[in-house]
Structure 1
Amino acid sequence: MQVIMLKDVDKVGDKHEVITVKSGFGRNYLLPRGLAIIANDSNMGRLNEMIRREEAQEQKKLDVYQAIAAKLKGKTLKVGAKAGTSGRIFGSITQLQVKNHLMEQFEVEIERKKIILPEDVKELGTYTLTLKLHSQVIQEMEMEVAQD
């Protein structure tokens, strides 16, 4: 069964992507929850209109994203983590934790999927993370992971 994704679903597909899924999964999970629609001729025609409309909305938000990038430029995000004596963190730093610390320290709301961590952050130290706010606005930022 081919479907057009209406929302991002982890490990399934991204928004506006045409994917093939098993019939039961599409019929029982994706369609009833409004996560996807069937990829027939009429819906494929609507797909271009949906993409165009969403790009127009994102273009309107461009000024907001540029303001957020300017606010965060040159700043360092401080994240506390519990670590052992060797400096190795118990667990790792996740996008959700970074999102919450950005909200606490700089009062900016950024979607979790727009935060790109360099690699698995599993030790204390300084890392560079990337905030992909828009296709035209990409901001790099220092993240300091310290003992909590």
Structure 2
Amino acid sequence: MKLILTHDVSGLGEAGEVVEVKDGYGRNYLIPRGYAQAWSKGAQKEIDQINESRRKRAIESLEDANAAREALEAQTLTVTKTAGANGRLFGAVTSADIAEAATAASGKPVDRRSINVATAIKSVGTYKATAKLHTDVSANLTVEVVAE
């Protein structure tokens, strides 16, 4: 079965790619979840136009991503949370909290889904995280968690 991916699917491809998959996988998993649509000549022309516009925007966004990476790596992001006397947080620092601090620091929007933290942040201290700003650009973040 020939399909056009509408979302990135790990192990299969990225959005806009034409892939050949087994009928059951396409019919029972990819299409019902909205990850793909059936291939046709009209759909292929539409995808080609979308890919062309993405290529044009990719050059601009790559420059923006490099500038944002330099701004984020140059400073320490501070997240303030409520904590107990022993330094344990009431809750945890989420990727949304880090994305909010990164957006404030860089001036460019950072999506919470692009933030990756190696371990859960549940106490006051300094932690490392990464942010994927572009397909080719990722920033290493230093996050300092302080108590309110």
Q: CA deviation at 1:65?
A: 0.9
Query: Which SS does the other structure have where 2:70 is aligned?
Result: helix
Aligned residues: 137
- 1:40 and 1:4, CA in 2 relative to 1: closer, same or farther beyond 3 A? closer
Q: State the alpha-carbon separation in 2 of the partners of residues 81 and 129 from structure 1.
A: 17
Q: CA deviation at 1:22?
A: 3.8
Per-residue CA distance 1:35-83 (angstroms, 9 max, x = gap) = x552335478458734564344223311111111122232000001112
- 1:105 and 1:141, CA in 2 relative to 1: closer, same or farther beyond 3 A? same
Q: State the alpha-carbon separation in 1 of the partners of residues 116 and 27 from structure 2.
A: 27
Q: Which structure 2 residues correspond to residues 48-67 of structure 1 after superposition, within 5 A?
A: 49=48, 50-51=50-51, 53-67=53-67
Query: Which residue number corresponds to residue 71 of structure 1?
Result: 71
What are structure 2's unaligned runs of at least 5 residues? 20-24
Q: Sequence identity, in percent?
A: 25
C-alpha contact 1:16 1:47 (8 A) present in aligned 2 = no
Query: Which SS does the other structure have where 2:59 is aligned?
Result: helix
Q: Which structure 2 residues correspond to residues 65-144 of structure 1 after superposition, within 5 A?
A: 65-144=65-144
Q: State the alpha-carbon separation in 1 of the partners of residues 70 and 97 from structure 2.
A: 22
Q: CA deviation at 1:142?
A: 0.8
C-alpha contact 2:77 2:144 (8 A) present in aligned 1 = yes
- After superposition, the CA RMSD in angstroms is 3.4
Query: Which residue number corresponds to residue 6 of structure 2?
Result: 6
Query: Which SS does the other structure have where 1:61 is aligned?
Result: helix
Query: Which residue number corresponds to residue 39 of structure 1?
Result: 38
Q: State the alpha-carbon separation in 2 of the partners of residues 139 and 146 from structure 1.
A: 22
Q: TM-score, normalised by structure 2?
A: 0.69
Q: TM-score, normalised by structure 1?
A: 0.69
What are structure 1's unaligned runs of at least 5 residues? 31-35
Query: Which SS does the other structure have where 2:146 is aligned?
Result: strand
Query: Which residue number corresponds to residue 33 of structure 1?
Result: none
C-alpha contact 1:66 1:137 (8 A) present in aligned 2 = yes
